[in-house]
Structure 1
């Protein structure tokens, strides 16, 4: 019994000593790390760079610096933090100076902005380079028309009084010569409008997908279209025979035709038969053709979708 008790006590003592040893070892390591990281160090760390506010007429070279070297005289904690989680420095290209075909970003002149981003003390930390040199390619500039890809489906009995308008209908763009030399126009993004029965207006973005390095000065346009309720009307119009040779006596039949037209309901009462003119041009008669084709050559501006009831005009030549 006594022997067993001694053995148990001895094992417990060994286990207690083992735990105590590792506790004090861990504590000593923590103290050592704290002491070491509390010291001042002079190290160089890489700060990632991102370029912002790039002028639309310039294309930055992909070979421009991706990082800037920052020489820091700080305690180990801050240097370790900057090494593991470096903050990104956003370089405002609009604040550069153009010189000899390059853009120069002066660190000292932008000290305040850099300080607000990185939270460093410039008395203890400095960038290895005083000037960041940015290479670029000058873009070509031109004006291109914009074609609408806005589809409009009108409700029954409704239609547009005029074509859909884009404002502006052309835009200034910049890009590499090799790209702009292939462009003659731009298109809007696709929009489908259904069952429209009132005036519509909105904004649409220019579709630049697939055009890398193309900059559009005004990428969003306004569109509008006036919509009215329309109805169909008809008038009886005499057919006028023209360009008959003086030595021929030509008689046509019928001498009148029913002309159908589409008009906004508000303009229906403005339409008069005298506003239209239908002709049959004898000079357009082809060989072995025994009929003339009627043509509407005059109509009110506010009418559309004109069609005549007679598709062919018969004629006889009297001797």
Structure 2
């Protein structure tokens, strides 16, 4: 009985295995026919051709970016297009710079010249539908035509509620700019690319590309932005009142002589804020001498590290001594 069961089991296994192999064979055959049919159809694909710039004089700095590839849309049979993607049939376009110089600061490969270069690198059966860019432009300057300029922050940053932006640091602070002399003469700074961020609660660091300007090349072309945020808290500081414009032979006494200032400060700076960060004055010239009059005091200097600084009182008693 056991032998019969084993024999049936072996038979079924061989039968199922044979049917699976037959199914797999026809699946492969149908896939091959589908691929042949598809590749025999005419279609359009975008192909990328590398561009290599050669023979650049040592004293010359190329200003142009982005002319390192040419993208072409090609129409042909599928199997022909496949060779462009899976073989090294398409050779790079080699541009010898001195051959295309048009002026002291400009070289250009025209549309007709570029199209000729492209056609030399594809099969005769292929039809070029589109070329991007349609021409190659190169701007250059002498290596000595450079200037160091500061990087300028451009953007909007906002802290979360009950927080404040304490600093925006840029590294490096200056970059080297290569450009024609007339541009260098008028260039005072290089802005970063537009940068917007809100709800900041802690220090944020980002690498940002500098804003591109035609005819200008910057080294480096990006900087690191560090935005520091801090939680706000209130602090009270007792500050002495200084008297000013007091005539010789007289003395102006203020009561009380020290006044509390309330201000808003970042938590990290709380311990660093002292009376030296403020200045309160009482001006002798503002006194009229009327009975019962009080002396008006003013807050005339406040540290940049605090905000919303205000006097606890704005008038005090005084006494003039001869």
Give the corresponding residue for 2:179.
175
Q: Distance in 2 between matches of 1:218 and 1:282?
A: 54
Q: Distance in 1 between matches of 2:160 and 2:63?
A: 47
Matched, 1:231 2:236: no
Matched, 1:309 2:319: no
* TM-fit CA distance, 1:164: 0.7
Give the corresponding residue for 1:122.
none
Q: Distance in 1 between matches of 2:257 and 2:287?
A: 23
Q: Distance in 2 between matches of 1:52 and 1:250?
A: 80
Give the corresponding residue for 1:193.
197
* TM-fit CA distance, 1:317: 4.4
| Closer/same/farther in 2, CA of residues 194 and 118 from structure 1, 3 Å limit | same
Paired residues, number? 208
Q: 1:58·1:137 contact (CA, 8 Å) conserved in 2?
A: yes
| Closer/same/farther in 2, CA of residues 257 and 59 from structure 1, 3 Å limit | closer
* TM-fit CA distance, 1:247: 1.8
Deviations 1:10-55 (A, max 9, x none): xxxxxxxxxxxxxxxxxxxxxxxxxxxxxxxxxxxxxxx9663768
Residue in structure 1 matching 2:163, options 133, 158, 169: 158
* TM-fit CA distance, 1:138: 2.3
| Closer/same/farther in 2, CA of residues 277 and 143 from structure 1, 3 Å limit | closer
Give the corresponding residue for 2:154.
149
Gaps of 5+ in 2: 1-49, 65-89, 106-116, 123-137, 289-294
TM-score when scaled to structure 1? 0.51
Gaps of 5+ in 1: 1-48, 61-85, 103-113, 120-133
Q: 2:162·2:232 contact (CA, 8 Å) conserved in 1?
A: yes
Please provide the CA RMSD for this pair: 4.5
SS at match of 1:163: strand
Give the corresponding residue for 1:205.
209
SS at match of 2:220: coil
Q: Distance in 2 between matches of 1:159 and 1:90?
A: 54
Q: Distance in 2 between matches of 1:238 and 1:137?
A: 61
Matched, 1:52 2:53: yes
Matched, 1:218 2:248: no
* TM-fit CA distance, 1:181: 1.0
Rg: which structure is higher?
1
Q: Distance in 2 between matches of 1:249 and 1:186?
A: 55
TM-score when scaled to structure 2? 0.50
| Closer/same/farther in 2, CA of residues 135 and 244 from structure 1, 3 Å limit | closer
